[in-house]
Amino acid sequence: MRNVQYAEAAFFRISSMILAHRNFETILDLIVRESLSCLNAHRASSYQLDEKNGTLHTKFTHASGPEYAQIGLFEEKELARSALKQRNPPILKGPKDLSGLFKFMRGERKITSLMIVPFPFQGKSISGLSSVLIDELHTFDEKDLQLFSIFANYACMAMENAFLLAEVRKRTSLMQTYEQNLANIQNHLQDLAKKEIRYLEENIQNFLTKKEEERKTSDPSNYSNALAKTYNISMISLKGFTLDPLLQKLVGEKYAANNMIVVLENSADKIKLALAEPTQYIMEELKRITPARKIIEFCLADPNEVQLCFKKYYDPFAVNKLK
C-alpha cells in the first residue's frame, strides 16, 4: 500500500534538488528510490528508449531486497520498451493482464502488478518510470498510478530544467566567446588603424617635404610661363615701375591692392593691366566694369615685383621703364 505521509517528504526532497539545479542523473536516481518507498513496491526502475535502434536502456533500478532485483526483469523491460516505442499512455496491469507473460518467467515468483508511466521531453516520450509488485495479493490501483505519475512529472521537470540550464550555460559560453572575439577584432582594428594613420602621416610628411624641396629647387619661370600660356597673355617685368594712383583708380585702389593688379596704361581705346595671379573670375569682372569702347590688354607680372610696386613710395616725377 502507498505511503502518503512519506510521499510529502519525498516530494520536498526531490523539488529541493531540482531548485538547487542538481545533476539530472542524481535527481532521477532519487526519484526512483523515493517512488519505491512511497508505493511500497518491490522494484522501481527508470528507462530510456534509443529512437534510432529501438534499444531500451536501464538508467536506474532499485529493489526493496536483493531477491526482487531480477524477477521478471526481462518481461518488464519488454513492456516498457513497447509502451515507449508506441507512445502509450500510463500502463496499469494486474495478474490477469500479466498472465500471458508468466510462461517466460523462471521459478515460482512472478510479477503480480506493474505500472509504467512515460514522461515526455520536447514532445517525445522516450523515457519512463516502472514499478512492480512481486507475489503480492494486493495490486496497484488508480490512486497508486496517480501518485506514480507525480514522480514521473518531477522527472520530466528535472529533465527539462537540466536541458534549459545546459542551454543557458551553452549560450552564455557562446556569448562570452563572441564578446572575446569581438574585443579581439576591435583591438586588432584599432591597432591596424593606428598603423595606417602612422603610415599616412609619414607618407604625407615625406610627400610635403619632397614637394617643398622641389618648389625650392624648381625654376619659378616655369610656373609663370604655364600661367601665361593658360590665359593667353604676355609676361611683363615691373622692375623700376612706380604705381600711378590715378591709373589705379580706374579699377579701384583697394580692389587693385587686394587682387594684386597694376594699371600700366590708359588710353582712349585701351587699358593695359598687369596681374600677379590671374583668374578667370577677376579677368571677367575687369572686362565688365571697363567701358565697352575700350579693350583690355592683360599681362602677367611676377608677384614679388607687384608687391614691390605697392610698397614703393609714389613719385610723380619718376620715369617708368617697362620691359
Q: Identify the CATH number of the domain in which residue 84 sits.
A: 3.30.450.40
pLDDT at residue 220 in the model: 60
What is the per-residue pLDDT for 63? 95
In a domain, 198, yes or no: no
Residues 19 and 116 in one domain: yes
Asked if the structure places residue 101 within a domain, the reply is yes
Nearest 10 degrees: CA dihedral of 73, 78, 82, 84? 40
Same domain, 158 and 231: no
- If asked whether residues 10 and 154 sit together in one domain, one would say yes
In the chain, % of residues over pLDDT 70: 90
What was the pLDDT predicted at 66?
A: 93
- pLDDT at res. 299: 93
The answer to whether residue 183 is domain-embedded is no
Alpha-carbon span 12 to 4, nearest angstrom: 13
Domain CATH number, residue 298: 3.30.300
Pair 160, 294 in one domain = no
Looking at the fold, whether 161 and 228 belong to one and the same domain comes out as no
Residue 191 lies in a domain: no
Residues contacting 148, CB < 8 A, separation 6+: 35, 39, 90, 115, 117, 129, 131, 140
- Domain boundary pick from 124, 148, 168: 168
Q: For residues 159 and 84, give the distance between their C-alpha atoms in angstroms, rounded to a whole number.
A: 17
Quick check: is 197 in a domain?
no
Q: What angle do CA 232, 273, 226 make, to 5 degrees?
A: 30
Cα three-residue angle 192-198-200, rounded to 5 degrees: 100
The CA-to-CA distance between both ends of the chain, in Å, stands at 133
278 is in which domain, residue-wise? 223-311
188 lies in a domain? no
Contact yes or no for 278/261 (Cβ under 8 A): no
Do residues 270 and 131 both lie within one domain? no
Q: What is the pLDDT of residue 1?
A: 57
Q: For the chain, which residues score pLDDT lower than 50?
A: 104-105, 313, 315, 319-323
Please state, in angstroms and rounded to a whole number, the distance separating the CA atoms of residues 140 and 296: 124
Q: Do 109 and 240 have their domain in common?
A: no
- Cβ atoms of 76 and 45 within 8 Å: the answer is yes
**Type of residue numbered 281:** Y
Those residues whose C-beta lies under 8 Å from the C-beta of residue 155, and which sit 6 or more positions away, are 27, 28, 31, 46, 119, 127, 129
DSSP letter at 64?
S
Q: Same structural domain for residues 153 and 268?
A: no
What is the model's pLDDT at position 14?
93
Contact 104, 75 (CB under 8 A): yes
Give the model's pLDDT for residue 50: 86
Distance CA 235, CA 227 (A): 10
- Residue with the three cell numbers 538508467: 59
pLDDT for 101 equals: 61
How high is the pLDDT of residue 121?
Answer: 80
User: At which residue does the C-alpha cell 536501464 appear?
Assistant: 58
Task: Flag whether 74 is in a domain.
Answer: yes
Global pTM reads 0.54
The reply to whether 319 falls in a domain is no
Same domain as 236, residue 164: no
Last residue of a domain, one of 168, 189, 212: 168
| Residue 323: predicted pLDDT | 39
Count: domains in the chain = 2
pLDDT score recorded for residue 103: 55
- Specify which residues 133 forms β-bridges with: 113
